Structure 1
Amino acid sequence: MSFALNQILNSQWAMTEEALRLMLSVVERHADIDALEKIRGDRLNNSEKAFIRGGVGVIPVRGPLFKRANLMTEHCGATSYETVLRDFHQMLASDQVRSIVLDIDSPGGEANGCSELADHIFGARGQKPIAAYVGGTGASAAYWIASACDRVYGSDSSIIGSIGVQSALQSEKNQNEIRFVSSQSPNKNRDPSTEDGAREVQAVIDGLAEVFISKVARNRGINRDMVLGKFGQGSVFIGSEAQKRGLIDEVSTLENVISNYGAQKMTTDNITAEFIAANHPAIAEHFIRIGAAGENDRFKAEKTRVERIRTLAEGQVSGEFLQSLVESEVSVQDAAIEILMESKKNPKAPWQAIRKDHDRSLSGLDVPPSQSTGLDVVASEQDAAIELARKLGLTGGTHK
């Protein structure tokens, strides 16, 4: 048995029966692995297939799907998950790409690696609009991938669904082979043609299918029972029927999808700090500098406010009252009025002392000392406070 055929027969596949049989027939016709490996090496550097149209990154997902690039992906029209993933992240990082469309025409493929790719796509939602378009077949693993996108489109003749997993195995009975299995591992490599062996294989297949179903439910925003009840339990549906059942969002054409997604502009909801930091680091650094400068200006302004209030309050009010003014974040002009009003409520302070303290603070600002006594001081204190605030540069005019 060739290496390629052995790999197919010992893997689990999320793909249609017809496609699996076709893939088997192709490999059986090419059993010369040495020649195939040489061809594979020559074409390895041409694995990336994505392209950009009008700001839309288009990633082809065609033919049988494999976890890694191999003979089938190089020469038989197949696609590898690693190639799609690499192209997908390049599109996410590119400033030329506003949105991403997966152009799907695939019967499905290897279960191994499909879930990881779909999770990467699902996790990138919100960074850029992501859509899947099924132009021919979007079955099994191909639909698994499509469901991870924000929206799924299909042509009116597209074939969509086939949610499930299968495996093609051969009996290991060989009269010329003697095989020993460790006593601690009686379930290792059971013959699938036996009842116990079939039970082991079925458990693996069912487990993978359960992952498939739960991920499709998450991706489409529905519950598991709805997937089982409406998505066909392995059946496929044509475009409009697939839309009615909720497998796709809209029947359209690839050109319309590319045109619509190319016309989309980035909305403010998409422009988050994380998006700017990841896609426009220079702009992010600029915003950081502006923010730091603004924070420094606010600190300086607050320091000046507190210093001026302390100057006005010196010898006029208690320390507790001063602290309450500072913490209340009132302006210096309002604080001056509050300080004067509080000082006249203090019966222990004689009017002469109030006048002297206030005149002393005003004399440093070239304000003529008050010549009044007694109640005249109280009558003029508010005007003096406003004048003091003006001298401190807190107001542009005089108090009327």
Structure 2
Amino acid sequence: MKYGHILMAVTEERWALREAKLQEIVAFLEAQADGVKFSAEEVQARISNAQAKEVARREGAVAVLPLRGVIANRMNLMGDISGGTSAEAFRHAFQGALRDPEVKAIVLDVDSPGGAVSGSDELSSMIFAARGTKPIVAHVDATAASAAYWIASAADEVVVTPTGAVGSIGVFGIHDDLSGAREKLGVKRTIISAGRFKADGVAGPLDDAALARRQARVEAAYDMFVRAVARNRNVSLSAVRDGFGQGDMVDAAPAVAEGMADRLGTLDETLQRLGASQYRPAPAARRAGVAPRRALRALDLS
């Protein structure tokens, strides 16, 4: 039943996420709910759980906070099968870096297809409000889609790796009509409820009124998304609605030209501008031109 409950939570959420990623997650959950069992290796191959292992780190006086994988307000429901980032945990990490007197700058290390609407605007607004406290740079390597861009655009500066992309500004929801599947199984479900709209579309078809209400909620989330990006990037609402990819991804160079990002650069270039580097000097014996003795003996060059 665990995956059935997660699947229900997924279908009830509004998503600022690349559609292909959500389809991948839903297909996985449906298979699990139907009794298909995957090994840990198969789960990692299907959903890429490796991203969940990314942790905040320090590079000199720069705090590097990973914003990776699917973003959800709390990842306890989906963390074991999708990896990703808890918006709640990210808020705590960001506030910790903001308060730490030894941290002189903050880098958001972004590579995410987006995530849930829940928690995204709050996190974006918190980062925006922190501008001026210390430099905040969102470095996209290589994807900041949908909710990830909602959040990353709040930084003082958005830098995209030359082969990266940003955008996918949009919101959607899904609803599964399972009535036909139940009928084939000979199952007749009776919903007993109180409250005029309480049981709308519960595993059955949506009528026009129920569909309109859900569409209105998606439109409201999209409007919130557009307003946040317009504020974050200091552009008009029409610039975001009528440009900025219109729901599609925009490659790095065109994104800079359109004002969605500020510059192209690698993560190490970003860190170097802030007085740090992700690379450490090689040990003396291993620097170029100085082969260790063991290697010399193996090559019979000593």
Query: Which structure would you say has the larger RCO, counting Cα contacts within 8 Å and 6 or more residues apart?
Result: 2
Q: Which residue of 2 aligns with 1:144?
A: 150
1:66-106: CA deviation from partner (whole Å, max 9, x where unpaired): 10132533453211101111110111111221000000100
What are the ranges of 5 or more consecutive residues in structure 2 without an aligned counterpart? 36-51, 277-302
Q: Which residue of 1 aligns with 2:279?
A: none
**Superposed CA RMSD:** 2.2
1:312-341: CA deviation from partner (whole Å, max 9, x where unpaired): xxxxxxxxxxxxxxxxxxxxxxxxxxxxxx
**Mapping of 1:196-215 within 5 angstroms?**
196-215=209-228
Q: Does 1:225 align with 2:238?
A: yes
Q: Does 1:53 align with 2:59?
A: yes
Q: 1:15 aligns with which of 14, 17, 22?
A: 17
Matched residues, number = 250
Tell me if the contact between 1:131 and 1:151 (Cα under 8 Å) persists in the aligned partners.
yes
Cα distance, 1:29 vs structure 2: 4.0
CA distance in 2, matches of 1:26, 1:149: 34
User: What's the secondary structure of 2:273's corresponding residue?
Assistant: helix
| Cα gap change, 1:107 to 1:48, in 2 (>3 Å) | closer
CA distance in 2, matches of 1:27, 1:90: 34
CA distance in 2, matches of 1:28, 1:63: 20
Cα distance, 1:220 vs structure 2: 0.8
**Mapping of 1:119-134 within 5 angstroms?**
119-134=125-140
Tell me if the contact between 1:15 and 1:141 (Cα under 8 Å) persists in the aligned partners.
yes
Q: Which residue of 2 aligns with 1:179?
A: 191
Tell me if the contact between 2:54 and 2:66 (Cα under 8 Å) persists in the aligned partners.
no
Larger Rg: 1
1:127-169: CA deviation from partner (whole Å, max 9, x where unpaired): 1100101112111000000011101010111121010101121
Q: Which residue of 2 aligns with 1:42?
A: none
Cα distance, 1:50 vs structure 2: 0.7
Letter in structure 1 aligned against 2:102: Q
Identity of aligned residues (%): 36
Letter in structure 2 aligned against 1:115: D
Q: Which residue of 1 aligns with 2:293?
A: none
Letter in structure 2 aligned against 1:113: G
Higher helix share: 1
Letter in structure 2 aligned against 1:23: I
Give the TM-score normalised by the residue count of structure 1: 0.59
CA distance in 2, matches of 1:231, 1:218: 14
What are the ranges of 5 or more consecutive residues in structure 1 without an aligned counterpart? 33-45, 264-400
CA distance in 2, matches of 1:27, 1:252: 37
User: What's the secondary structure of 1:167's corresponding residue?
Assistant: coil
1:251-308: CA deviation from partner (whole Å, max 9, x where unpaired): 1111111111236xxxxxxxxxxxxxxxxxxxxxxxxxxxxxxxxxxxxxxxxxxxxx
| Cα gap change, 1:137 to 1:189, in 2 (>3 Å) | farther
CA distance in 2, matches of 1:241, 1:189: 46
Letter in structure 1 aligned against 2:10: I
Tell me if the contact between 1:62 and 1:78 (Cα under 8 Å) persists in the aligned partners.
yes
**Mapping of 1:33-182 within 5 angstroms?**
49-74=55-80, 76-171=82-177, 173=179, 176-182=188-194
Letter in structure 2 aligned against 1:27: L
Cα distance, 1:221 vs structure 2: 0.9
CA distance in 1, matches of 2:244, 2:21: 20
| Cα gap change, 1:253 to 1:6, in 2 (>3 Å) | same
Give the TM-score normalised by the residue count of structure 2: 0.77
Tell me if the contact between 1:48 and 1:87 (Cα under 8 Å) persists in the aligned partners.
no
Letter in structure 1 aligned against 2:198: K
